[in-house]
A and B are shown apart, each in its own frame.
Chain A
Amino acid sequence: MRRLLWLLPPVAVLVVFFGYPLALVLHQSFVSDDGVVGLANWHEVLASAEFRRALVRTVLLAVAATAGCLVLGVFLALVIAFAPFPGVRAVSRLVDVVLAFPSFLIALAFTFLYGSAGVVNAALGAGAVDFLYSPWGVLLAEITFYTPFVMRPALAAFTQIPGAQLDVAASLGASPWRVLRQVVLPDALPALASGACLTLLLCMNEFGIVLFVGAKDVITLPMLVYTKAIVTFDYPAACVVAVVNVVFSGALYALHRRVFAKGEGRAAVDAA
Chain B
Amino acid sequence: MTPAVELRGVSVHFGRTVALHDLSLAVAPGETLALLGPSGSGKSTALKAVAGFLRPTAGRVLLAGRDVTDEPPNRRGLGVVVQSYALFPHMTVADNVAFGLRARRVPRRAVAERVAEVLDLVGMAGFRDRYPRQLSGGQQQRVAIARALAVRPAVLLLDEPLSALDAALREEMVAELLRLRAELPDTAVVHVTHDQSEALALADRIAVMRDARLVEVGPAAELYHRPAESFTAAFLGASNLLPVDVEDAGAVRLGGLRLAASSAGLPSGAAVALGVRPHRVGVRPYTGSGLAARVLAVQWRGTGYRLDLELELGHRLRAETPDVAGLAVGDRVEVSIPDGCPLVRVA
Contact = CB atoms under 8 A, between A and B. Distances in A.
Interface string B149-163: 001000001000000
B76 A171 contact: yes
A270 interface: yes
A89 interface: no
Contacts of B42: none
A269 B76 CA distance: 34
A236 B165 CA distance: 68
Interface in A249-272: 269-270, 272
B82 A164 contact: yes
B53 interface: yes
A270 B89 CA distance: 7
A266 to B, nearest CB: 8
B135 interface: no
A134 interface: no
Contacts of A162: 84, 86
B1 interface: no
Interface string A153-185: 000000000101101111111110010001100
Contact of A272 (B77, B133, B148): B133
Contact of B73 (A170, A187, A272): A170
Interface stretch (B59-67, B96-104, B166-174): B96-104
A173 B48 CA distance: 16
Nearest to A267: B89
A186 interface: yes
Contacts of B52: 170-171
Given A174-B74, A174-B99, A167 B86 contact: yes
Contacts of A172: 74, 79-80, 99-100, 103, 147-148, 151
A186 B104 CA distance: 20
Given A167-B51, A167-B53, A178-B103, A183 B88 contact: yes
Interface in B99-148: 99-100, 103-104, 133, 147-148
Contacts of A178: 103
Contacts of B53: 167, 170-171
B88 A169 contact: yes
Contact of A270 (B48, B103, B133, B148): B133
B88 to A, nearest CB: 6
B72 interface: yes
A59 B103 CA distance: 39
B78 interface: yes
Interface residues of A, number: 21
Contact of A167 (B77, B80, B151): B80
B90 interface: yes
A171 B73 contact: yes
B86 A187 contact: no
A168 B90 contact: no
Contacts of A175: 74, 103
Contacts of A189: 90
Given A168-B86, A186-B90, A173 B103 contact: yes
Contacts of A186: 88, 90
A187 B89 contact: yes
A269 to B, nearest CB: 5
Given A164-B84, A167-B80, A173 B90 contact: no
Contacts of A165: 86-88
A181 B170 CA distance: 34
A171 B103 contact: no
B129 to A, nearest CB: 17
Contacts of B87: 165
Given A173-B103, A174-B99, A183-B88, A168 B80 contact: yes
A167 B82 contact: yes
A51 B72 CA distance: 57
Nearest to A188: B90
Nearest to B90: A186
A171 B78 contact: yes
A100 B308 CA distance: 65
Contacts of B76: 171
Given A182-B99, A270-B89, 10 more contacts: A162-B84, A162-B86, A164-B83, A167-B48, A167-B82, A168-B80, A170-B53, A171-B80, A172-B148, A173-B104
25 contacts: A162-B86, A164-B83, A164-B86, A165-B86, A165-B87, A167-B53, A168-B80, A169-B88, A171-B52, A171-B53, A171-B78, A171-B79, A171-B157, A172-B74, A172-B79, A172-B99, A172-B100, A172-B147, A173-B100, A173-B104, A173-B151, A174-B103, A182-B88, A187-B88, A187-B90
The 8 closest A-B pairs by CB, nearest first: A172-B100, A164-B86, A170-B73, A173-B103, A174-B103, A171-B80, A168-B86, A165-B86
